[in-house]
Structures are given as structure tokens and as C-alpha cells.
A and B are shown apart, each in its own frame.
Chain A
Amino acid sequence: MIEGFVALYIFMLAAFTGYEIISKVPVILHTPLMSGSNFVHGIVLVGTMVALGHAATPLEQLVGFIAVILAAGNAVGGYVVTERMLEMFKTSNKGDK
């Protein structure tokens, strides 16, 4: 069990990290970055796997199953669309084609 204050410190440091990462981002990357951070919270998939993993009743299993589907959608969909957007930036960075 993560102790209360340790959790609080993790929250605080993670919040500053997130704030620092974004602070100097150019406008052109707002959309891809939003999409990228949307992908990162797809880590909720791990949480849903654990939650479904110790589900004991059919109701819990149903809720867990739906949660896993949603979380997998978040992670995979977030990755695919972010990658597609950033791929274009790569080609255009090389200049004329």
C-alpha cells in the first residue's frame, strides 16, 4: 500500500512534471499533443485488467469486461491517430517532396 503522504508527493511531482512538459509547446503541436496525452492515459487499461482480474461476481465481471474494452479503445485508438498525425510532420519536415 502506498502510504498517504507518499501518494501525495507522487501526485505533486507528477503534476509539476506534466506542467513543465507542456509549457513551451508550439501551437502547431497542440492537436497532436492532446492526442498523445490522450494515449498516455490509456494506461488505465492496466488498471482495468487488474480490476477485472479479481472480479468475483458476474456483475463485477460485466463491468470489468466493458471497462477493459473501453480502456483498450483508449490506448489503441489514441496511439493510432497520434502516430498518423505525427507521421505527416515527419515527411513535411524533410521539406519539399
Chain B
Amino acid sequence: MGLVMTVINIAYFIAAILFIVGLKQMASPTTARRGIVWAGIGMVLATVVTFAHPEVQGTVNYLLIILGIAIGGGLAWWSGRKVAMTDMPQMIALYNGMGGGAAAGIGAIYLLQADPETASNVILTIAVLGSLIGSVAFSGSMVAFAKLQGLMDKTVHFPAQQWVNLGLFAVTVLLGLSLALSGGDVNNFVLLLFFMLALAFGVLMTLPIGGADMPVVISLYNALTGLAVGFKGLVLDNPALMIAGIVVGAAGTLLTQLMAKAMNRKISNVLFKQFGGSSGAEAEAVGGSLKPIEASDAGIMMAFASKVIIVPGYGMAVAQAQHKIWELTQLLIDRDVAVKFAIHPVAGRMPGHMNVLLAEAGVPYDIIYDLDEINNEFKTADVAIVIGANDVVNPVARTDPDSPIYGMPILNADQAKNVIVIKRGRGAGFSGIENHLFYADNTRMLYGDGQKAASELIHAIKEIG
């Protein structure tokens, strides 16, 4: 091994350590920020030394590499800076898909260059496998991005969808097999067809999955990209890729399971069954009626309460109401009202998303509580304010075994003495299920845009003086 290669390998080794330590730090709130910086240093180190890699040759190739990093990195920097916090999930999907596409690209080049004299079927198989996974992660993530960004319809169904997908997958695998066992004598037409079908499979697999399940799917594709990158590391004989890729593959798989668990969904159900859908079971008839309330009355109710619990949902974030809600909270705290935020594990678009959004508005950590921590406190609360949340407070999850959300852990907002629901209209939630909480005797509906309603409440409380 030459001196240059030794230096490069040492740099890769350090980078691998920085990635692992960085990820470990990201798993705890106090060290998380340092973690991403460490991992970033590892990335820069690994990238810089690669310019000296003996296999990187040719002036044109060097220029293309620099140009490519400038274009891809520049666009990603710009978009990553600009994106609103509410749109984070789809941006993660987008960047993840790009990584999957890159892994597939490495596979394509390897297979194009495969030399029958030296190629081994084992490495060819791994290259094909990595390309298949990378392609699926790429096109699947792009569909996930398009859906969350609102560029396409939420779900697409057609007859015998699963059989079509299965058939497509089988053909793709057969083509991959023929490439893997070609001994390096790769037919370019078969190669092209293989990639086209793998990409098509990623699209078709993601199309029927609904928006509520997207976080799990994005996380799954994230793990898949990691796996693909790890396989490419083996193909390229690059331990940094192998370690980073497989670590992410394993971590991502576990994270996917944790998310699915927090949402009370099985991963297999997410991928192969539609949510809610036409399950046939008639929903329990809703008793009672929707009872509206004026902001001024709601304001008085809150101002003279001793304990208020706020249940924010994604609707609050869409209305950009989190800053107003924090202002409202401060007013109430000044009046010696105990205010707590109750966060459902899947509030927002992904587990943890709502915490990010509240942190953005400046809400301090110590008044934000998890479901387990706060669920018993609703009984003692005078007012529960539900803003932009729906399914996560629907009591049918506890009571109606026929409901598609039955068994999902929910926030027991209905147990508070009074419930105020701030809601834009009368529509059902993300899952399309009627919310029995809204019809309960102790519930009042405050209709209006989240931000406007919060402003009116602030005004009402200030009026009291």
C-alpha cells in the first residue's frame, strides 16, 4: 500500500469513528448539536482526501467531480436553508432519495465497466443488490416527497395492485439475477431495463401509501439507502462506505420500527394495506352535537382556570400559530395559570416533529410533556385546548374496536373538565374518521384559522386585564 493510500485509509478510519460517535451524540438532546458537527467534520475529511485517491484520474473527471459537488451541494444548501420547519419531512425524503440514486449510479458504472476477466459473481451480485435497493429508495423517496409537498394525489389505487407490484418485483429480480450471474459480460440493454423496472417498482410501491404513514416509509427508505451505500462500499473496496452505510441501515431499521410502534402501525400493514380505507365496518353513530364558542368566552374560561393543557397538532403548524400560542401561554403563566403542552408521539408529520416546531417558537423544554407523562393529568385540568389536532385525541381509539385507529395510544383530552377545540372547519381528520371528542358534552368548538383564533384569545385575555 502506497503512502497516499495509507493516509487516505487513516482519514476514512477517523471519519468512520466520527460518524459513529456523532450519531451516538445525536441520540441525546444535550449532545445532539455537537453530534452533527462531528459527523460533518468526518464527511469533509473523507471527501477531501478522496481527491488524492489513486483511482480518481483524468482532468475531465476531476472537473466533473468539482462541478457536480458545486451544483448538488449548492442547490441542497440553498433549499435546506430556505425550507420551512413544517416541510422538513419531505426535504429529508428528497435528500435521502438523492443518496439512494447516487448508490444506484455507482452500481451502474461498476456494471458497465465489469470485465469478464476479473469480475466475480459475488461482487456482481452485491453490486446488483445495492443498485436495486438504491433505485427503489430513490424513486420511492421522490414519490414520498411529491406527496408530502402536495405535488400529487395522496393515494393511488388500481385493481390487483399488489399482484402487479409483485410481478414487477419478480421480473426485476430475475433481470438482476441474470446480470449478477453474467460473469461480467453485461448486456447493456438488460442493464437499462433492470434499472428502469427497479425505479418503476419504487414508484408503484409508494403510490398507495397514505400521507399519515409517510414518516414510517421515509424512515424505511432511509435505512434502505444506508444498506445500498454499505453494499457499494464492498463493491468499491471502501470501508468508510461499508461502515457508515451499514450503521445507518441498522439504525434506520430500528428507528423505523420505533416510529411504527409510536403510531401503533405494523410496518407490513403500512406497506401492503391501505389505512382506514373501506374496511366495511360502520363507524359508531355519533351522539350529541357540535357546540360552538366565542373566543371571548373561551378566553375567560382559560384566564380563570388553574390548569390548562394545550394539545397541538399539525394543523397548528400549518396555520403558523405556534408563536401566537406561545404568546398566549406566557399571558396565562403571568396570571398564575399552570400551562403544559401535551405532545402525542406522532403529532406533526413525524415523531418528534412537533417538538421541533414548538422549539422554533421558543417554547421551553420543561413545559412540554410526552403522552405517558401527561395522560393522567387531564383529569385535573380545567381546560384542554386542542389546536389543529384530531385523530390523536379521538376517544374511539379507546372505545370502538371497529375503528381503524382502535388501539392507538391517544391523549385523554376528553377527561379534562372543559375542552376547547380550535379548528378551521368541520371536516374529519387525516384518517377521515369522525372525532367523537368534538361532540362530547364538555367540548366547545372555536372555529377559525389557528393563528387568528389564538390572536383573538390573546385579545380576550388582555381585555380582562
Residues of A whose CB lies within 8 Å of any CB of B are 1-2, 4, 7, 10-11, 14-19, 21-57, 59-61, 63-93, 95-97
Q: Once the chains bind, are B364 and A17 in contact (CB under 8 Å)?
A: no
Q: Which of B230-238, B387-395, B413-421, B431-439 contacts A (4 or more CB under 8 A)?
A: B230-238
Nearest chain B residue, comparing its CB with the CB of A11: B246
Instruction: Report A-chain residues with C-beta under 8 Å of the C-beta of B22.
Output: 36, 40
Q: Once the chains bind, are B112 and A60 in contact (CB under 8 Å)?
A: yes
Contact of B359 among A44, A55, A91, A96 (CB under 8 A): A91
In the complex, how many angstroms separate the beta carbon of B354 from the nearest chain A beta carbon? 9
Q: Once the chains bind, are A32 and B99 in contact (CB under 8 Å)?
A: no
Q: Once the chains bind, are B36 and A74 in contact (CB under 8 Å)?
A: no
Q: Once the chains bind, are A47 and B363 in contact (CB under 8 Å)?
A: no
Instruction: Report B-chain residues with C-beta under 8 Å of the C-beta of A88.
Output: 356, 359-360
Nearest chain A residue, comparing its CB with the CB of B64: A65
Decide yes or no: A92 and B359 within 8 Å by CB, A41-B245, A44-B103 being known contacts: yes
Interface centre among B23, B102, B218, B245, by most chain A C-beta atoms within 10 angstroms, is B102
Contact of A95 among B75, B81, B232, B364 (CB under 8 A): B364
In the complex, how many angstroms separate the beta carbon of B228 from the nearest chain A beta carbon? 8
Decide yes or no: A67 and B105 within 8 Å by CB, A29-B29, A80-B76, A88-B356 being known contacts: yes
Residues of B whose CB lies within 8 Å of any CB of A are 12, 15, 19-20, 22-24, 26-30, 32-33, 35-37, 39-40, 43, 46-47, 50-51, 53, 55-58, 60-62, 64-65, 67-77, 79-81, 83, 85, 88-89, 91-92, 94-96, 98-99, 101-106, 108-110, 112-113, 122, 218-219, 222, 225-226, 229-230, 232-234, 236-255, 258-259, 262, 343, 345, 348, 350-353, 355-356, 359-360, 362-366, 370
Contact of B246 among A14, A23, A44, A90 (CB under 8 A): A14
Contact of B113 among A17, A42, A56, A78 (CB under 8 A): A56
Decide yes or no: A50 and B98 within 8 Å by CB, A18-B254, A27-B351, A76-B73 being known contacts: no
A42 to B252, CA, bound (A): 14
Q: Once the chains bind, are B68 and A85 in contact (CB under 8 Å)?
A: no
A69 to B138, CA, bound (A): 14
Instruction: Report B-chain residues with C-beta under 8 Å of the C-beta of A26.
Output: 28-29
Decide yes or no: A86 and B105 within 8 Å by CB, A46-B47, A71-B98 being known contacts: no
Nearest chain A residue, comparing its CB with the CB of B138: A70
Decide yes or no: A55 and B222 within 8 Å by CB, A40-B19, A40-B22, A77-B94 being known contacts: no
Q: Once the chains bind, are B23 and A92 in contact (CB under 8 Å)?
A: no
A30 to B101, CA, bound (A): 24
Interface centre among A57, A78, A84, by most chain B C-beta atoms within 10 angstroms, is A78
Instruction: Report A-chain residues with C-beta under 8 Å of the C-beta of B101.
Output: 66-67, 70
List, sorted by A's number, 25 A–B pairs whose CB atoms are closer than 8 Å.
A1-B237, A4-B122, A19-B254, A30-B262, A31-B356, A36-B22, A37-B23, A37-B252, A37-B255, A43-B15, A44-B245, A45-B43, A47-B106, A48-B102, A64-B109, A70-B105, A73-B72, A77-B91, A77-B95, A80-B80, A81-B88, A86-B26, A86-B36, A88-B359, A92-B359
Q: Once the chains bind, are A70 and B102 in contact (CB under 8 Å)?
A: yes
In the complex, how many angstroms separate the beta carbon of B231 from the nearest chain A beta carbon? 9
Decide yes or no: A80 and B81 within 8 Å by CB, A37-B251, A39-B36 being known contacts: yes
A24 to B28, CA, bound (A): 9
In the complex, how many angstroms separate the beta carbon of B51 from the nearest chain A beta carbon? 8
In the complex, how many angstroms separate the beta carbon of B334 from the nearest chain A beta carbon? 13
